[in-house]
Structure 1
Amino acid sequence: MTSNIPQTIDLGIVVNVNWLKDHLQAGVIRVLDARPLDEYEDGHIPGAISIEMNAIREEREGVDGLIVGPESFATYVGQLGITRETPVVIYDDYHGMLAARIAWSFEYYGHTNVAILDGGWSAWEANGFSSENRSAVPSVATYEPVINDALIATHDWLHQQASNDKVALLDVRALVEYERGYILGAVLWGWENGTSDENFFLATDAIRSELAQRGITPDKEIVTYCQSGVRAAHTYYLLKKLGFERVRMYDGSWAEWSVLEAK
């Protein structure tokens, strides 16, 4: 039987479980499970491949959690059978936080067709969709990374923009973390405010209003950060869903800033 699923799929930022179920059989989409390996082995979406977030992060100059270089990234995701043209859907069971960090990494290296599964594994299970516990073994592919510098904020870049009132810093950590220290000028808005069990990304008018009250508006370039660039990735995608066009994530986040500013 010939599939009526198009071979070219524009995923957008987020897809839901019903959409993914309807598109799985075509074999066009690469589904990545960002949960810990033991959870993946207990059961996962059919055909999904386990991806380890920390396999595409590394320590540099005393700062942990930074994105790996292009060659390391290309080697790892190529082993997962992914090229830069492969449509990729990523899921977890942590409100999309791990999936968002991985999706941002793909985007940083030029992948324009990557999405996060809304509701993640819990939503898939809740709908009674089929699962499997055997590990998928993909054919190795060649991934050709193309760095997109517009997605990342660095320590140097932030210093260069310090007097730019069209750049706003959004600290998405907890209040107790913020009170211990933050980047000058950053406003606090906890990442968890933008998620729920049913919807990983609450792109609502109420959220838009909350952010606007803090000076986070679409006419500015927004930089999200947290402790090590995981929670910040979630808010990065929330802002994208809200229609913000210029958003960066500070990869090193507070872990890097606090080290470099102390030198």
Structure 2
Amino acid sequence: MVDVASADWLSAHLGDVRVVDVRDGWEFDGIGHLPNAVSIPFDEFRSAEGDVGMLPGSDVWSELLSNAGISADDDIVAYDDMHGVFAARFLVTALLYGHDPTNLHLLDGDFSAWTREYETTTEASDVPDATYEVSDPSASPLVDFETVEAALDDSETVIVDTRDAAEFEEGHLPGAVNLDWRELVDDETRGLKSRDDLDAILEPAGITPDRRIVLYCNTARRISHTYVVLSHLGYEHVEFYEGSLTEWEARDGALVEG
């Protein structure tokens, strides 16, 4: 499954992986980036006109990664400067277009965390020739409106809203529990909290590895981070509602306030 890689691990494996920076292009060029990193800004792989929900479309994805010198069998480490939430979206997108999840890694922390101990550069990275071939994933976590609607009455399923508490109060799916994705991040280190701390947050909410977990937010960005974290922790039954509240409200799905 998709995992979370430490800065120490990445530093030791920079020559063996493809590093993807999903910050804006001006940040990549002007502020600097990790050695050997390539720039694929978030806006370039996020589209409302894609083939599934907010995905960019397989042709767009293939062209983006080919131009970045990435092949379908490469190990990829992605990062941003927002605790990993945008980078996680990149990794989930790769997963949904058939990339082997064992070759997908989120940098623990982000660009700011990396700069505390390791060097950055403004030099352009060498980009090898590559043709990225999209494929169907061996197993997809995506679920649709009807599946989520049916899950509302399933006592073995936990519907998880990863937005903040104020958004949750304004309206959420019936029976959903609120887990702001930022609760899993340590503000000081900018990386994930310890396993013990994560378990202490997840278990009281009923979010445990033995249960079926269905994630949603507004546009499937924030759930990407939570999906990667739960995958990293070994959760095997995590589902991803790509349409999230954007689709749910458009189709008059039931909402509860308070």
Task: Please give the TM-score of this superposition, normalised by the length of structure 1.
Answer: 0.85
Cα 1:241–1:204 change in 2 (3 A) is same
Q: Secondary structure at the match of 1:228?
A: coil
Q: Secondary structure at the match of 1:261?
A: coil
| Structure 2: unaligned runs, 5 residues or longer | none
Counterpart position of 2:148: 158
Counterpart position of 2:37: 48
Measured in 1, the distance between the counterparts of 2:242 and 2:193 equals: 23
Counterpart position of 2:221: 230
Which one of 111, 117, 124 corresponds to residue 127 of structure 1? 117
| Cα offsets for 1:183-215 (capped at 9, x unmatched) | 122111111110014152225223223322222
Q: Secondary structure at the match of 1:258?
A: helix
Measured in 2, the distance between the counterparts of 1:158 and 1:229 equals: 14
Structure 1 residue 259: deviation in Å? 1.4
User: What one-letter code is carried by the residue in structure 1 that aligns with 2:179?
Assistant: W
| Structure 1: unaligned runs, 5 residues or longer | 1-10
Measured in 2, the distance between the counterparts of 1:256 and 1:245 equals: 25
Percent pairwise identity: 31
Cα 1:166–1:86 change in 2 (3 A) is same
State whether structure 2 residue 208 is matched by structure 1 residue 217: yes
| Cα offsets for 1:94-127 (capped at 9, x unmatched) | 1011111111111112212110111221122111
Aligned pairs (5 A) from 1:62-141:
66-112=54-100, 113-134=103-124, 136-141=126-131
| Cα offsets for 1:6-48 (capped at 9, x unmatched) | xxxxx96111222222222x3x311100111111002111221
Structure 1 residue 262: deviation in Å? 6.5
Kept after mapping to 1: 8 A contact 2:40/2:64 = no
Cα 1:132–1:85 change in 2 (3 A) is same
State whether structure 2 residue 235 is matched by structure 1 residue 244: yes
Measured in 2, the distance between the counterparts of 1:153 and 1:235 equals: 16
Cα 1:262–1:184 change in 2 (3 A) is closer
Kept after mapping to 1: 8 A contact 2:2/2:232 = no
Cα 1:150–1:51 change in 2 (3 A) is same
Kept after mapping to 2: 8 A contact 1:203/1:238 = no
User: What one-letter code is carried by the residue in structure 1 that aligns with 2:21?
Assistant: D
User: What one-letter code is carried by the residue in structure 2 that aligns with 1:234?
Assistant: H
State whether structure 2 residue 249 is matched by structure 1 residue 258: yes
Kept after mapping to 2: 8 A contact 1:91/1:120 = yes
Structure 1 residue 239: deviation in Å? 1.4
Cα 1:181–1:23 change in 2 (3 A) is same
Kept after mapping to 1: 8 A contact 2:152/2:159 = no
Cα 1:48–1:30 change in 2 (3 A) is same
Kept after mapping to 1: 8 A contact 2:78/2:106 = yes
Q: Secondary structure at the match of 1:237?
A: helix
Counterpart position of 1:6: none
Measured in 1, the distance between the counterparts of 2:178 and 2:7 equals: 32
Which one of 144, 164, 169 corresponds to residue 134 of structure 2? 144
Task: Please give the TM-score of this superposition, normalised by the length of structure 2.
Answer: 0.87
Structure 1 residue 87: deviation in Å? 0.5
Kept after mapping to 2: 8 A contact 1:57/1:65 = no
Counterpart position of 1:175: 165
What's the RMSD between the two structures over aligned residues? Answer: 2.4
State whether structure 2 residue 30 is matched by structure 1 residue 39: no
Measured in 2, the distance between the counterparts of 1:171 and 1:21 equals: 34
Counterpart position of 2:48: 59
Q: Secondary structure at the match of 1:249?
A: strand
